[in-house]
Amino acid sequence: MQFKINPKNPSSAALRVVPIFESETGKLQTENLGFSPPSSFLFSGKKDSSYSFESGDQLVLLIGLGKEPDYKTIETSYRRILSKSSSLVEKEVFLDFPDTFTAEQTEAALVGFRLGSYSIGFYKKEKPKDFHKLKVEVGSSLDKAKSLAERAEKIADAKIEAFKLVDLPPNKITPEYLADWAKDLGKKSKLDIKVLDAKKAKSEGLEAFLAVGRGSAKEPKFIILEYRHPKAKLHVGLVGKGVTFDTGGLNVKTQGMHHMKSDMGGAAAVLATTQLISDLGLHVNLTAIVPAVENAIDKDAYLPSEVIGSHAGLSIEVIDTDAEGRLILADGLSYLIKNYKTDQVIDLATLTGSAIGTFGYECAALFSNDDTLSHGLQQAGEMIGEKSWPLPLWDEYGKEMDSEIADIKNYHGKPFAGAITAAKFLQAFTHEHPAWAHLDIAGVAFGDTEFAKTKTGTAYGVSLLLTYIESQL
C-alpha cells in the first residue's frame, strides 16, 4: 500500500473518506464536501464518531474528530477505517483532506490509516484481509504533500515492525531472531551492526547480561546498531530491554506468564526507532543497544543469593531472578557509555509492576538526571500521545539497594517504590553520565486496545523518540 497524491479528483469507485470537526458549521461542511452533509441528528463530527452513506454513485465515510483533536486522536480515528470498516473498502480509497488540515494532522491521519492494515492473525488458516494492493489516493493542497505522505509511510512501517516484534510468539521472537532482524536492517539501511554472542560477551565483561541468559537453551545476543550522518551535531544513545520471554527464572512467575512475550517492548521500540531514523535520514548520530536474552529455568539458571559481576565492575547480589531486566540494562548502559561518546542516553524497558501501580496504563514512568532531557521527553510525548511523567531519583532511595555482601543488590524486596529503586539501580551503572533518562514502559508497551480482543503491542516509544530527537535538531 502506497499513498499517491491526487488533486481532488477521486474515482467514483473509491471510498471517499472526509474528516469533519465538530466545530465546523453546516455551511462549511457543505463547501468542503461538495454536497449537503447529513443532519446533525445523525452526525455532528463528535470525537470517535463516523457516518457512511452513498452520494450519487460514490460511497462516503465521514470521520468525526471532535473540536480540537490531538495527534493521537486523529491517528486512532483513521486506524479504524481499515481495522473496523474494511467492509466499505474494495480496491480504492480516496483520503480527502480539507484545506484547513495542517501537515501534522495529515501525517497523523496517514500514519493511522496505514496502521489499520495491521492484524495479529499471523498463524490463522483463514488469513486476515490483505491491503498490500489497495490503491490509496490522497487529496491534499499542502505544498509538500508527496514528501509528507512518504514520511507517514515510513513512520507507520516502523510502528508496525514494533507491533510485530512484541506480538509474535516467543518461539519466533528469540534473541537470535532479534539479532538477525538487526543484521537485515543493517544491510538495507547501511548501518554498522555488531552482535556479540555469549563468548564475545564474556570477553567484554558483560557478566550480568550473561547471568540472566544462563538458564535458556537460546543463546543470548548483545546487539549494537550504529547510525551515522555526516551533518550530525548530536549523538543519542538508546538501550532497549530485550527479554524475549520472562518466566521469572527460579523466582518463577505465578500468574500472567502468558503475556511475558511482551517483555522486550523496549527492544522493539529501540529497533523500530533505529529503522525509522535511518529511513528518514535524520541529521543525528545514533547508537542503539539491545541486550537480548530469554529468562528461563534449567540446571544452569542463576540463583537467588548469587553474587554476579557486571560490565561496570560492580558486584551484584541477586535477591530476585525476576528482577532480570535491570541486570541486562545495567550492562547495556555501561557498555554504551564506556564505548561511545553519546551526548544523551535514553533507555526503555518494561521494567516494573510498580510503574503500573503508580500510573496505570496511561503513561510511562520517567526518571532522569537532566531536567532539559526530562522536559523534552515529556513535551514530545504530550505532542504525540505517548505520555510520561517524572518520578524522583533522590539518594535516599538508592540506600534501599545497598547490599551487605556485594556492591549493590538487584531488588530491595519491599512493597513500595519499586519503579524508583529499580531506576536507582540502573543509575549506578551510568558512570555519572550527565544526561540519562530511563522510561519504565511496563504499563504502556503492551495492553488492551480497541483493535484486538487480546493484549497487543502499542509501539510506545517510536513516535516519542522520533518527535524528541527531531526537536533537538
Which residues form the catalytic set? 253, 326
C-alpha cell at 273: 526507532
Residue 359 host element (H or E) = helix 353-359
Three-state helix/strand/coil letters over 39-78: CCCCCCCCCCCEEEEEECCEEEEEEECCCCCCHHHHHHHH
Q: What's the CA dihedral at 410, 173, 388, 442 to 10 degrees?
A: -50
Alpha helices in 232-346 (DSSP H): 265-280, 325-339
CB burial readout 160-181, b (16+ within 10 A) else e: bbbbbbbbbebeebbbbbbbeb
Looking at residue 217, the DSSP 8-state letter turns out to be S
Rounded to 5°, the CA angle 313-286-178 comes to 75
Q: Give the relative orientation of helices 371-384 and 71-84 as an angle to the nearest 10 degrees.
A: 40
With DSSP H G I counted as helix, E B as strand and the rest as coil, what are the percentages for the chain, rounded to 5?
A: 35, 20, 45
Residue 347 host element (H or E) = strand 344-349
C-alpha cell at 444: 504502556
Residue 461's CB is within 10 A of a number of other CB atoms, namely 30
